[in-house]
Structure 1
C-alpha cells in the first residue's frame, strides 16, 4: 500500500547514517499521552526497520536524524502540540522547499505519523502517515503487527538520493 509522504527537497537524505530518538521529558515526548508499551512497540518497529536499511542507532548529540512519531486521535490540541514540538507546519507544505507531489497528505484519526527531524534545525524534514486500523478486540501481538506493517510501509519510502 502506497501511503502519502512529504519531505524537504533541500535536505540531503543521502548523508544520513545515524538516527536517534528524543528522550522522555523532551517537548516531543510530552506532546502526546502514550503509555510505555505503545512507545516501545513503535520505537522497536522503527529501530528494526532502520537497522535493516543499514542505519545505525546513535546518541542524540551525534546523530544525523531524530525519529519522532504520533498516534493521531480525535484531539486537535495534542496534534498541534506535536507539530509545534517538531516545527512542522501543515500549511507550509506547498512551500518551495517541500516536495510538490503531496496533495494527498493529511492527518486523520487512527493514523500513525512518523517524522524525521533535522537535529541542527530541530524541525521535521520528512513525514509519513499510515492507518493503524486498531480494533478494540486486538491483542498485543495484533497491535504490534499493525505497527510493524505501518512503520515498514512508511520507512520504505525514505528518499534514497
Structure 2
C-alpha cells in the first residue's frame, strides 16, 4: 500500500472517530520555553503556510482577528514576522486530506513525533476531524510547530457571517486558553 493511501486511510479513521468528545484539544512540545513568548506574528501571503490551504480572505480575516483579540487580551503583542517570538498559523480541516498534509508540511508538524519524549503526553485523545479549526504556534527559529490545538467550528449552511464569527471566536478562545504558562 502506498504511503499516501495509508495516510488517507488514517485520516479517514481519525475523522470518523474524532467527533465524539472534546477533552483537552492541545498538544505541545515540552522543551519549548513558552514563558519567554511575548510577541507573535502571522505568515504573510505567498508563504508556504498561506498557500497550503485555499481560504477566502474574509474567513482568514475572521480567524486572524479572533486570534489577535485573544492574544492581545493575554498581554501578547503583535510584532513584525522577523522579530516575533512565535508565529501563529491556522487550518480549517476540510474533506481533502491533501490540504491537511500540505499544511502539516508547511508548519513541519509530524504526528509520529508526538510519541517522542519531548511532547506533552497527557493527551492521548487528540485527533483531527473534519470541520475542526487547528491553531499552531510555530517556533520561528526552527520553523516548526511547538503547540497545536483543534476545536470544532460546527458551521451550518444557514449561519450568517455574525454567527460564523462568533463560532470562530469561541473556538479560538477555547483553544488559546490552554496556552502553557510555565
TM-score scaled by structure 1? 0.98
1:89 aligns with 2:110: yes
1:40 aligns with 2:61: yes
Tell me the distance in 2 between the aligned counterparts of 1:2 and 1:54. Answer: 26
2:4 is matched with which residue?
none
- The Cα offsets for residues 104-125 of structure 1, whole Å up to 9 and x where unpaired, read as 1111000000000000000000
Offset of residue 6 of structure 1: 0.2
Structure showing greater radius of gyration is 2
Tell me the distance in 1 between the aligned counterparts of 2:81 and 2:31. Answer: 22
For residues 64-79 of structure 1, the aligned pairs below 5 Å read: 64-79=85-100
For residues 119-134 of structure 1, the aligned pairs below 5 Å read: 119-134=140-155
Offset of residue 97 of structure 1: 1.0
- Following TM superposition, the consecutive aligned residue runs of length 4 or more in structure 1 with deviations greater than 6 angstroms are none
1:146 is matched with which residue?
167
Tell me the distance in 2 between the aligned counterparts of 1:105 and 1:90. Answer: 11
Offset of residue 17 of structure 1: 0.1
TM-score scaled by structure 2? 0.87
- 8 Å CA contact 1:31–1:81 kept in 2: the answer is yes
Offset of residue 93 of structure 1: 0.8
Offset of residue 147 of structure 1: 0.1
> Would you say how many aligned residue pairs link Structure 1 and Structure 2?
161
Tell me the distance in 2 between the aligned counterparts of 1:69 and 1:54. Answer: 20
Structure 2 residue ranges without an equivalent (≥5): 1-21
Offset of residue 91 of structure 1: 1.8
Aligned residue among 78, 90, 100 for 1:57: 78
- CA gap of 1:53–1:2, structure 2 versus 1, over 3 A, is farther
Report the aligned-residue RMSD.
0.8
